């Protein structure tokens, strides 16, 4: 598997889905509390900045900025805690998440961030589940602010080290903190929702509704067939030349990482890995370029 370049300061769309597409995250109150708390804890532990979150019945999306280049640590912490808590709630023991790794899509510019924010927050409408985003019964947050949560009363010990309560801090994306920028995001979300509602109606379909969502069996899966063997994007931008430039740099990273790793395996511990190297830096303390 090619190494992932984890760049400090980059903004990402993070996606993870449940095993076999099962509705293990059906947004009942306890599941929502679990994810909210685990996300707040992972943020507190790693310093990741969260800009938006949606927890669907069988997957989640996050938009985050990674100031210190620790995104895999954040995702690992979040996924482990959610899996253990929800498994305890449902009385199951097997793997919770799908076998493929989490998806990290680096958002290269402000347009890409706004586009993915609209995609994330309109996801329940796109899926034909609720008619308006505010009707989604689960965790759906995209407005900057502080969102308190309490520790779930399952899995965690009452006298344990985990805090009894936490706050999930949502921050504006870089360069999108002003009033006009926030209005731009709201307009993009509203437009995406309108387009999704119009498409569902043209197709003669109806929305399942919040009550229907909550009645989903956690062990069921969608009846639709999953598209497989498609490309898994690692970057997003509508700017063609920015995409080309970034993909060129990604190829250079893979090449430079392979060369540095070859020297490392030869015992040359002074070798410098390229900027964005994660595993060798975290697990083995390897030196990495800073710019």
DSSP 122-189: THHHHTTS-SSGGG--S-EE-SSEEEEEE--SSSS-TTSSS-SEEEEEE-PPTT--SHHHHHHHHHHH
Which of 223, 238, 253 finishes a domain?
Answer: 238
Res 160: pLDDT: 86
Asked if 50 and 98 sit in the same domain, the reply is: yes
Regarding predicted confidence, which is higher, 3 or 230? 3
Among 200, 217, 238, which residue terminates a domain?
A: 238
In the predicted model, is pLDDT for residue 187 greater than 70?
A: yes
Asked if residue 1 has pLDDT above 80, the reply is: no
Of 204, 221, 238, at which residue does a domain stop? Answer: 238
- Going by C-beta distance under 8 Å and a sequence separation of 6 or more, which residues neighbour residue 126? 119, 192, 196
How far apart CA 18 and CA 97 sit, in angstroms, is 4
User: 214 and 270, same structural domain?
Assistant: no
Q: How confident is the model at residue 159 (pLDDT cuts 50, 70, 90)?
A: confident
- Does 189 fall in a domain? yes
List pLDDT tens digits, range 109-151.
999 999 999 999 999 999 999 999 999 999 999 999 999 999 9
Q: 52 with 108, same domain?
A: yes
Q: Using one digit for the tens of pLDDT, what is the confidence trace for 13-61? A: 999 999 999 999 999 999 999 999 999 999 999 999 999 999 999 999 9
CATH code at position 26: 3.30.70.1290
Check whether residue 232 and residue 247 sit in a common domain: no
Q: Are residues 133 and 277 in the same domain?
A: no
Same domain, 86 and 180: yes
pLDDT at 230 exceeding the cut of 80: no
* pLDDT at 42 (0 to 100): 98
Write down the pLDDT at residue 228.
64
Place of tokens 């999704």: 196
pLDDT at 223 over 80: no
pLDDT score, position 167 = 98
Query: How does the average pLDDT of the chain come out, rounded?
Result: 95
- The answer to whether residue 3 is domain-embedded is no
Number of domains in the chain: 2
229 has pLDDT over 70: no
Indicate whether 229 and 181 sit together in one domain: yes
Co-location of 251 and 208 in the same domain: no
Domain that holds residue 252: 242-288
Same domain flag for 210 and 157:
yes
4 domain residue, yes or no: no
Sign of CA dihedral 210, 212, 217, 219: negative
Say whether both 69 and 93 belong to one domain. Answer: yes
pLDDT at 225 over 70: no
Domain membership of residue 148 (yes or no) is yes
Assess if residue 5 is contained within a domain. no
Query: Within this chain, do residues 178 and 252 fall inside the same structural domain, yes or no?
Result: no
- Inside any domain, residue 128: yes
Say if 196 falls within a structural domain.
yes
- Say yes or no: 201 and 256 in one domain: no
- The sign one gets for the Cα dihedral 207, 208, 210, 211 is positive
Separation of alpha carbons 21 and 87, rounded Å: 15
* Average pLDDT of span 228-254: 90
- Kindly state whether residue 176 falls inside one of the protein's structural domains: yes
**Mean predicted confidence (pLDDT) in 186-190:** 97
Q: Look up the pTM and report it.
A: 0.95
Does the pLDDT of residue 189 top 70, yes or no? yes
């Amino acid at each position: 598997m090619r190494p992932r370049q984890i760049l400090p300061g980059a903004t990402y769309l993070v996606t993870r889905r449940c095993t076999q597409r099962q509705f293990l995250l059906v947004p009942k109150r306890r599941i929502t509390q679990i994810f909210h708390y685990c996300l707040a804890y992972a943020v507190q532990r790693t310093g990741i900045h969260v800009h938006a979150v949606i927890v669907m019945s069988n997957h989640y999306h996050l938009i985050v900025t990674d100031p210190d280049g620790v995104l895999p640590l954040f995702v690992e912490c979040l996924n482990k805690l959610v899996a253990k808590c929800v498994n305890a709630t449902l009385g199951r023991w097997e793997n919770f998440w799908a076998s493929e790794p989490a998806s990290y899509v680096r958002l290269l510019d402000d347009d890409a961030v706004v586009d993915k924010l609209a995609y994330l927050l309109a996801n329940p409408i796109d899926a034909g589940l609720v008619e308006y985003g505010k009707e989604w019964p689960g965790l759906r947050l995209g407005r900057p602010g502080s969102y308190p949560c309490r520790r779930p009363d399952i899995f965690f010990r009452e006298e344990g080290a985990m805090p009894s309560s936490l706050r999930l801090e949502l921050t504006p994306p870089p360069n999108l903190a002003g009033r006009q920028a926030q209005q731009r995001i709201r307009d993009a979300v509203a437009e995406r929702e309108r387009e999704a509602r119009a498409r569902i109606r043209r197709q003669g379909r109806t929305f399942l509704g919040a009550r229907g969502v909550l009645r989903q069996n956690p062990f069921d899966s969608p009846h639709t067939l999953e598209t497989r063997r498609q490309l898994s994007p690692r970057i997003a931008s509508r700017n063609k030349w920015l995409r080309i430039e970034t993909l060129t740099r990604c190829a250079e990273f893979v090449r430079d990482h392979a060369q540095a790793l070859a020297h490392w395996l030869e015992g040359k511990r002074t070798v410098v890995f390229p900027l964005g190297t994660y595993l060798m830096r975290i697990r083995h303390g390897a030196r990495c370029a800073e710019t």
